[in-house]
A and B are shown apart, each in its own frame.
Chain A
Amino acid sequence: MQSQCIFSIQTPVGPPVEIIRHTFPSQSAKPIKRVSLVAGLHGDELEGLYICHRLMQALKKLEDKNPSALKGEVNIYPAVNPQALETGTRLWPFFSVDINRTFGENNTPSLTADTAKALFGDIKSHSDLVVDFHASNLQLMELPQIRIIQNFEKTLVPFAQLCNVDLIWVHPHAEIFESTLGYNLNQARVPTLVIETGICLRIHQNYCDQIVLGILNLLRRTGTLDLKEPSIEVTPARLVQPEYVAMIQANHAGLFIQQAEIGQALNQGDKIGDLIDPVEGQVLEEIFSPCSGLLFTLREYPLTGKGAPLARIATEEPA
């Protein structure tokens, strides 16, 4: 494993802020494929860090025992927003900026925009395929899934099917995506998968195990790793088009008490939870599933505003 600091800035006190890339170089003269794995754009999303850790362990072992298996090159960027990670916050704390909203064209000179530009440039020049790991925000728990903007569906779905996720959600484009790393890499013709799994500030080992297997499978099936045995059993993901996703939103503000489990196969009318009034002691709303399907998003943070998402269901009929 070769490590390189791709971006460094002095801080007023203490150590510098550094972004590190670890490279597992190809043993072939020309790498079959260069795959990059990126984690920690949001400092409170830790699942990706653990997945990268597990993959680095596996790749280090491979370098020791079977180096010729590395036909392609694997680049791992395990912690790309160091200061946000140190404080456990989504945003880069000194600037209160979401670095995953600073990619692409930006005319305002700022350290966050420069950092994003340097990171983007390095990933783009070192990758034929990228996986960008995210956990959900503070509010929602997500089943392991890959989200794909409709325009990129044709290129990305075949790769996504190799990643051992439960769900591939193809969704319409929205302008807010235009400042994200994933969108800009895809626009630059570097296929990039955005994985969402779990919830922020936590590590769900079972989800991470599942994705580690999926990424190893992706590396194997793209020829990046030449591994004959053992073959990895990957369950095909459910491909969900936009009209097959039902979102349930709160009609009241209150505390959401969940009564279903993420990953549950719901029938129409199954209870998902209650929305209660914490002050007056009333149940404001009983939440039932409007359809049958897979519960792939569930509200974990009870404090709920009106209009807030409570659940998403991958439906069997158009929602």
Chain B
Amino acid sequence: MKEKVLSIPTPFGASLDLYKNTWGKSGDTLSIVSGLQGDHLNGIYLNSCLSQFLDSVVEGVNPNYTLKGRVISFPVVNLNAIRSGSKLWPYDGMDMDLAFPGNPQGETSEALASAILTHTADSYWGFILQSAPPHYEDAPHIQTLKLDGRIKNLSRDLQIETVRKRKESAKVNLLQQWHSHDTVAVTLSSGSPRTINLPQCEILFQGIIHFMVAEKILKDRRKIKSEAPIKSRFYEENDEVPVFASTAGMFMKEVKAGINVQAGQKIGEIRDIYSGKRREELLAPAEGFLVTLRQYPIVYEKEPIATILTTKKSWKEYLPWSG
């Protein structure tokens, strides 16, 4: 089931090999891709946990589940970036997620992108596992380009509370390419680059297992009563409230990504590096879910420090007897 799907010669001998994992032979396919950036380690770790789990299922070691569908995973795509311990491969400085659809005859990044898309384009579902952008931490959440019925069902099956619709941007990224192939695809984002956050990985791991059971890719043979489902909250683009630094210095955070903040709640402060004096206090401008928070303390003026997802309450929540 671990299969070499591309081998690229390198100038100094050993070839660079791209591997695909496959479990199951029939049924709608779920593709899971991580490691588009070399420092998005949460996704790589999560994918390896899923590999271990699915191996145990197909080998019969795990008696609780039976595989009914088909799963493909690419744990690592940007092999050179991972080898060099960086987000991008220093040789080409190219963001791998701007290389799609790729070119099988092209340079390394283009050839890798082409292979990924070729092997996943006919998938019914697609998950990209990523971390926050450099210097930030994301609470586990789903990012999607659409909020249609299929995506809403997928999100509910994943049992992840926060679903964030992003504006369509670069057409040359994998998520956009999957959408153009009518794959029901989302990005699962969590944590910071260069780190592994085990509790966050566990949330996403359980979510993906739940999804596979709900979509009958896996059969759960246990007769256990399912817990109350988590209700997903869907956020449109205009529900996002960024918090900007109006000065430069050292940001000392006072909250964690993944909490609900109140309007006016202190998020942190920016201190002058030389004097240590407070230059700015950053307060939440609105009540909501803190989905992204600055992790790296050194900040420039005008940088976004946090993103809060706000919700317009439904009329039912204003009723006096509503909780």
- Give the B-binding residues of A (Cβ under 8 A): 9-13, 16-17, 90-91, 94-96, 98, 101, 105-111, 114, 175-176, 178-179, 249, 252-255, 277-279, 303-309
Contacts and interface: CB of A to CB of B under 8 A. Distances in A.
A106 B304 CA distance: 14
Contact of A308 (B88, B98, B107, B304): B107
B12 A90 contact: no
A108 B169 CA distance: 9
B248 A90 contact: no
A105 B98 contact: no
A17 B237 CA distance: 30
A121 to B, nearest CB: 15
Contacts of A105: 167, 169
A94 B166 CA distance: 24
Contact of B248 (A12, A249, A252, A304): A12
Interface of B: 8-13, 87-88, 91, 93, 95, 98, 103, 105-108, 110-111, 133-135, 166-167, 169-172, 237, 242, 244, 247-250, 273-274, 298-304, 307
Contact of A12 (B11, B172, B273): B273
A282 to B, nearest CB: 12
11 contacts: A12-B249, A106-B169, A107-B167, A111-B300, A111-B302, A175-B170, A176-B170, A252-B9, A255-B11, A307-B8, A307-B103
Contacts of B248: 9-12
A176 B98 contact: yes
A94 B103 CA distance: 30
B11 A305 contact: yes
Contacts, number: 106
Contacts of B170: 101, 175-176, 178-179
A94 B300 contact: yes
A9 B306 CA distance: 18
Query: Which A-B residue pairs are the 8 nearest by beta carbons?
Result: A107-B167, A10-B301, A10-B248, A175-B171, A253-B9, A109-B304, A109-B242, A9-B301
A182 B153 CA distance: 41
Nearest to A177: B172
A43 B135 CA distance: 21
B8 A11 contact: no
A255 B122 CA distance: 38
Nearest to A255: B11
B11 A254 contact: yes
A280 to B, nearest CB: 8
Contacts of B111: 306-307
